[in-house]
Amino acid sequence: MSEITKIVSYIRVSTNRQGQSGLGLEAQREAVLNYSKSAGGRIAEEFVEIESGKRNNRPQLASAIEICRKSKATLVIAKLDRLARNVHFISGLIEAGVNFRAADMPNADKFMLHVYAAMAEEEGRRISERTKVALRAAKARGVVLGATGKMLAAKHKHAADTFALRLSPTIANMKAEGLSVRKIADRLNYDGVAAYSGGRWHPTTVQRLVRRIEVLSIGDPRGLTLASN
């Protein structure tokens, strides 16, 4: 990892409720802080946004980018999905000449982040399409789509699949380092990455994530076992 001296931190949550409660903010803040220490840098400014990742109109991010341009600082986010969910937005940052890094992918350069964003966007589209197809099939079978249980189950699966997609590159990188499931859980906890439930990672939760990734065929983390070391 190349040394970075001046860092501008960008943290985003999706709802006002999360912003008021601080839910998710502290974990992101800790992840950026850990990254800045490992990169030998210092956090000059922090920008916090409460906005959906699907929208590109984000004033706090615009301010953070402007600061980076003027001071030659590096924009650091906790996770790639906190920055954007579409390739066009990432491409815009690259073309603008702004250096940026994701704390959950510390060794990824601009090109790699662009590729990961493309993968995430495409898989998100496929997940959405599969969900729509499943709902149409259910409707054809006579299932009432307004039924609470069915709809909640579909939403939960979509959210869990999307979560698995976001972490797929991170898990693949850790596997490439030869880490066991237990050590992956320890690393995720150390990096401040919350589990899907919002709590800490355990070997069993990592293993469930690995299995979901395999089912989605968005990675190749096979071979990970519930090793105790």
Q: Which of 10, 19, 6 is nearest to 60 (CA)?
A: 10
pTM more than 0.95: no
* Contacts of 168 by beta carbon, 8 Å cutoff, 6+ apart: 213, 216, 218, 219, 221
200: region left, alpha or beta (phi > 0 left; psi from -120 to 50 alpha): beta
Question: Cα–Cα distances in Å, from 47 out to 13, 32, 50?
Answer: 11, 12, 10
Instruction: Provide the pLDDT for residue 84.
Output: 54
State which fold the 6-107 domain adopts.
Rossmann fold (3.40.50)
Environment class of 104 (CB within 10 Å of its CB; exposed 0-12, middle 13-18, buried 19+)? buried
What are the structural domain ranges in the chain? Answer: 6-107, 116-216
| pLDDT of the residue at 43 | 92
Residue 46 has pLDDT above 50, yes or no: yes
pLDDT tens profile 168-178: 888 888 888 88
At 203, the amino acid letter reads P
Strands 42-50 and 100-102, by their bridges, are: unpaired
pLDDT attached to residue 218: 45
Query: Residues 156-164: what's their mean pLDDT?
Result: 83
